[in-house]
C-alpha cells in the first residue's frame, strides 16, 4: 500500500470557503481504481506551524498509483492547490502490510 500526504499552508488572502471548496474536489478521486481512500481535513496538531490542512491518500498498489498519477482531475486539483498555497510539504511512502515491520 502507498500513502501520500500533503500538508498545506495557504496564502493569507484566501477565505475558508475557497479552501473548503478546493479540498472538497479531492473526494472525486475516490472512484479511481486502486485508490482506497482520499481524505482532506483541518490539521489540529498544536505543532502545525501554519500548515492548516492535510490531504491524505491511500492507494492499494502500483497500478493504483499509476491510475492516480494519470488522472486529469488529480492534475487539475494539484495545480489549483499549488496556486493557492503559500507553502506545502509532501510526504509519500510505501506502507508495510498490517502487522509487518518495515525492513531496513
Question: In the structure grid, which three cell numbers stand for residue 78, read together?
Answer: 494539484
Domain assignment present for residue 36? The answer is: yes
Domain assignment present for residue 100? The answer is: no
Domains in the chain: how many in total? 1
Where residue 62 sits, what CATH number does that domain have?
A: 3.30.70.100
pTM of the model: 0.89
25-44 burial: b if 16+ Cβ within 10 Å, else e: ebeebeebeebeebebeeee
Q: Is the dihedral of CA 94, 97, 102, 103 positive or negative?
A: negative
Calpha distance 42→64 (Å, rounded)? 26
Domain assignment present for residue 80? The answer is: yes
Domain assignment present for residue 22? The answer is: yes
Calpha distance 81→8 (Å, rounded)? 9
pLDDT digits (tens, 9 = 90+) for 34-66: 999 999 999 999 999 999 999 999 999 999 999
Domain assignment present for residue 99? The answer is: no
Domain assignment present for residue 102? The answer is: no
Question: In the structure grid, which three cell numbers stand for residue 58, read together?
Answer: 491511500
Domain span at residue 45 reads 2-94
Domain assignment present for residue 41? The answer is: yes
Domain assignment present for residue 72? The answer is: yes
pLDDT digits (tens, 9 = 90+) for 61-100: 999 999 999 999 999 999 999 999 999 999 999 988 766 6
Calpha distance 30→59 (Å, rounded)? 10
Calpha distance 83→62 (Å, rounded)? 28
Amino acid at each position: 500500500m502507498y500513502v501520500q500526504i500533503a500538508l498545506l499552508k495557504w496564502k493569507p488572502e484566501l477565505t475558508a470557503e475557497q479552501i473548503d471548496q478546493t479540498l472538497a474536489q479531492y473526494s472525486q478521486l475516490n472512484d479511481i481504481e486502486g485508490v482506497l481512500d482520499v481524505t482532506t481535513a483541518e490539521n489540529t496538531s498544536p505543532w502545525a506551524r501554519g500548515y492548516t490542512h492535510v490531504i491524505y491518500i491511500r492507494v492499494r498498489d502500483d497500478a493504483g498509483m499509476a491510475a492516480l498519477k494519470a488522472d486529469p482531475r488529480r492534475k487539475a486539483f494539484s495545480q489549483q492547490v499549488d496556486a493557492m498555497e503559500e507553502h506545502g510539504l509532501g510526504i509519500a511512502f510505501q506502507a508495510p502490510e498490517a502487522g509487518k515491520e518495515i525492513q531496513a
